[in-house]
Amino acid sequence: MSNLASNSTNVANQSAFYLNTKNTWLLPDGVVDLLSTEAVKQETLRYQLTRILISHGYEFISPPMIEYTESLLGYASEDVKLQTFKIIDQLTGRLMGVRADITPQIARIDARLHNNQDTSNPSKSISRYCYAGHVIYTMPKGLFGSRTPLQLGAEIFGTDSLASEVELLDVLFTLLDSTDVIARSHIDIGHVAIFQQLCQLASVPTHLQEKLIELYANKALPELKLLTSKMSQFGELANDFYVLGEAGNDLQKLRERLSTQAKHDAIIAKALSDLTYLVRYLEDHWDANVSVDVTGLGYHYHTGVVFNVYVADESLPLIRGGRFSNHFHHEVDNTDAVRSGVGFSCELNRWQNHIQVHEQPFTVVPYSHVQTILHVPNHPDAPALKQAIDSLRQEGHRVMIALDETDEPEQTTHRLQVANGVWYLEHLAEN
């Protein structure tokens, strides 16, 4: 090929490259850039909430974005597995996952920490953790949901006492209160052990459990009535599954309508008692808007109390939480162990939509002062100017030193000026 032809080909390739890069600013659905105001709001919120969690005794930890799928998805729910991007590790050829939820990582860390303890009962030591980090979803949650949300949460491991639910809900409402959203929020609370124990008592097969869960989720009472009417092989417990759907938002009504066998079951009785206590506690201590739903909060991952917090009129919960069990192998004595846990998580990119962050004053040191004072060696006014800049920054101003005459951003609110040797702020009129 001649040099001319070669040069023509290179030019054509370069042109094609530049044509292709015209659209590189386009991002996938559910992926957005956070610019100045929103980015500052998110970082301010993250810092504020994590500081509160740390002040309540929660240990802040930061797991990695990627792990081998064996550890990342070992005990993850099916929903989390579907939301997880899988990639190949170029170093080992093994399959890795990009985390879609941080809770399984916290469970892995807790299990590893307690594996290293030479104790006959590792499940008894109580641990508290908190975290804040980005997760990646294969599909957005909701119509306009983010696929790269910033997730924040807290977990308590090592106790199944109701006191841990109370503590966690107290911490959660402290976070809500710190951002002034309690008045616009309500919490929906339930207990999956009621349904699970009914299935255990009646020996309900898995496929039928899945069908019941689907009908509960869709609030399909006529279909639920029809299905339970065909479950005569389960005796008086058959109607309990309908009662759970029909009266699951009224604890008193639910107690009255359950069968005698269900009423006297210790696990169901405790679940109803715990729910009653938590509802009263939240109403009395936080003046919370509380609703109950023992059928609509999911059954695959949690094992006990579950809750969702909604803010304003959003259809998706802002915060999800509940009790779960973390199974792991204890290497010291070669036994299987279970750590009971309770926790919650939320997406800060959604939380920030419900808060206001006061804009910091933006002050510019005009280039004329930079030229005539800061750039002049040993200028007598330079120390006073530097002190004025430092003081403003300590007071919360964003102070920028101009690099040329045109260096004054649109968000500038003040200029630092001097008169008779005294530095003062010139307030700029709003456009």
Q: Using one digit for the tens of pLDDT, what is the confidence trace for 32-72?
A: 999 888 999 999 999 999 999 999 999 999 999 999 999 89
Contact 426, 368 (CB under 8 A): no
For residue 297, what pLDDT is reported? 64
Tell me phi and psi for residue 246, to 5 degrees.
Answer: -80, -35
Give the integer Cα–Cα distance in Å for 397 and 180: 24
Q: What percent of the chain has pLDDT over 70?
A: 89
Contact residues for 148 (Cβ-Cβ < 8 A; gap 6+)? 30, 31, 134, 135, 136, 137
Give the integer Cα–Cα distance in Å for 138 and 134: 14
pTM confidence score: 0.87
For residue 56, what pLDDT is reported? 98
Query: What does the mean pLDDT of the chain come to?
Result: 89
Residue with tokens 């809750």: 307
Closest CA to 148 of 169, 133, 130, 158: 133
203: left (phi over 0), alpha (psi -120 to 50) or beta: left
Q: How many CA atoms lie within 13 A of 127 on its CB side?
A: 22
Contact 42, 50 (CB under 8 A): no
Contact 217, 190 (CB under 8 A): no
Contact 194, 244 (CB under 8 A): yes
213 — pLDDT class (breaks 50, 70, 90):
very high
Q: Which two tokens stand for residue 46?
A: 């993250």
Query: What is the DSSP track for 134-165?
Result: E---SS-SSTT--SS-EEEEEEEES---HHHH
More confident residue, 144 or 188: 188
For residue 335, what pLDDT is reported? 64
Tell me phi and psi for residue 343, to 5 degrees.
Answer: -165, 180
Give the integer Cα–Cα distance in Å for 350 and 319: 10
Contact 208, 228 (CB under 8 A): no
For residue 26, what pLDDT is reported? 85
pLDDT tens across 268-325, in order? 999 999 999 999 999 999 999 999 999 976 656 788 999 999 999 898 999 999 999 8
Does the structure show a pLDDT above 80 at 8? no
Does the structure show a pLDDT above 50 at 201? yes
pLDDT tens across 403-428, in order? 999 999 999 999 999 999 899 999 99
Give the integer Cα–Cα distance in Å for 68 and 95: 6
Per DSSP bridges, beta strands 305-311 and 150-157 are unpaired
Contact residues for 28 (Cβ-Cβ < 8 A; gap 6+)? 147
195: left (phi over 0), alpha (psi -120 to 50) or beta: alpha
Residue 46's CB is within 10 A of a number of other CB atoms, namely 17
pLDDT tens across 12-26, in order? 444 444 445 555 578
330 — pLDDT class (breaks 50, 70, 90):
low
Please name every residue paired with 129 in a beta bridge, in sequence order, or none if there are none.
Answer: 59, 155
Give the integer Cα–Cα distance in Å for 42 and 47: 9
For residue 13, what pLDDT is reported? 47
367 — pLDDT class (breaks 50, 70, 90):
very high
For residue 122, what pLDDT is reported? 46
Q: Which two tokens stand for residue 56?
A: 């309540």
Q: Burial letters for 137-163: b for 16+ Cβ neighbours within 10 Å, e otherwise?
A: beebbeeebbbbbbbbbbbbbbbbebe
